[in-house]
A and B are shown apart, each in its own frame.
Chain A
């Protein structure tokens, strides 16, 4: 199957064959790096959101009614699958330059928001996301809420809270997975990363029947923020007509540069915070 790299699809001058089968060893290496980065970004983004959704579903199942909570999850997954079914072909129909410009811009905005929160958390200016605390809050709210039955759902409260949680956390993930996959011309890798992440987190949640507080969620958000910013920059600028020096290899500079800058920012703010106290 002929597969082109991230950059210069527009020009389509030198199509290469994907996953190490390229005749140009530098391009083959670049392809596998980008596919790895694609997998890691989608996997981490999905895992982070899945941890948050799992916490709420566990609270609903524990305090209310497991079957209703899981029905809410199933309904939400069906809705998200429908969104993917509509969004996927629609995105594929958009001209590549426009897609990269728009998607790059949105990924940059997402990435900067994630990274900003991660820097604030790392520097002590924002409370760390605590799944145990979220679980306790949800549990208390669920225990005090009144019960109600609607149709086939025995506990409407547990159903709707689980449904909303999975839909809200899932929408961002769907957007990231679909746009990353479409832009990289590798939707199967993005879809596999998303599916594996959700399955791993769900299996862990079912196994421990407790919030997954040991998952290094804040660190993962930091890494995802850096990766979203790097890919958003790469695709956005390319969609706007810029040509990257080194082509795809520019990503190998953008990722450590953004990561290093964000770490420096966090350390500088932490020192300032300590100096004030």
Chain B
């Protein structure tokens, strides 16, 4: 039973988070920062695009380094 629950949880973790959890955490932090800045009536649209570029670059670099 526990093994089944584990595999069920693992399936959904893999489905939503994938093989680099730092990307998921980075996206959540970027959207949280966007929310906070927009609540303060400051321009916040630029945060997520910048975060996407940085997350992609760091995630790819980390994977390449781990392969080398």
Interface set of A (CB-CB < 8 Å, partner B):
101, 104-106, 108-110, 112-113, 115-116, 119-120, 123, 125, 171-172, 229, 232-233, 236-237, 239-245, 250, 254, 257-258, 261-262, 265, 269, 272, 276
Contact = CB atoms under 8 A, between A and B. Distances in A.
B9 interface: no
A237 B43 CA distance: 11
21 contacts: A101-B35, A105-B28, A109-B16, A110-B18, A112-B23, A119-B60, A120-B60, A125-B64, A171-B15, A172-B15, A236-B27, A236-B31, A237-B34, A237-B48, A240-B31, A241-B44, A242-B43, A242-B45, A243-B45, A244-B45, A269-B64
A232 B44 CA distance: 15
Interface residues of B, number: 34
Contact of B52 (A110, A233, A242, A250): A233
Nearest to B67: A125
Interface of B: 15-20, 23-24, 27-28, 31-32, 34-35, 37-39, 43-45, 47-49, 52-53, 55-57, 59-60, 63-64, 67-68
Contacts, number: 101
Contact of A116 (B23, B28, B34): B23
Contact of B56 (A104, A119, A240): A119
Given A119-B60, A254-B49, 19 more contacts: A101-B31, A101-B35, A108-B48, A109-B16, A109-B18, A112-B23, A113-B18, A113-B23, A116-B23, A120-B60, A233-B52, A237-B34, A237-B44, A237-B47, A240-B32, A241-B35, A243-B38, A243-B45, A258-B52
A241 B20 contact: no
B34 A242 contact: yes
A interface, by DSSP: helix, strand, loop or mixed? helix
B38 A242 contact: yes
B18 to A, nearest CB: 4
B63 A116 contact: yes
A120 B52 contact: no
B17 to A, nearest CB: 7
A240 B49 CA distance: 13
Contacts of A109: 16-18, 23-24, 27
B20 A113 contact: yes
B34 A240 contact: yes
B63 A125 contact: yes
Contacts of B23: 109, 112-113, 116
B20 A116 contact: yes
Contacts of B24: 109
A104 B31 contact: yes
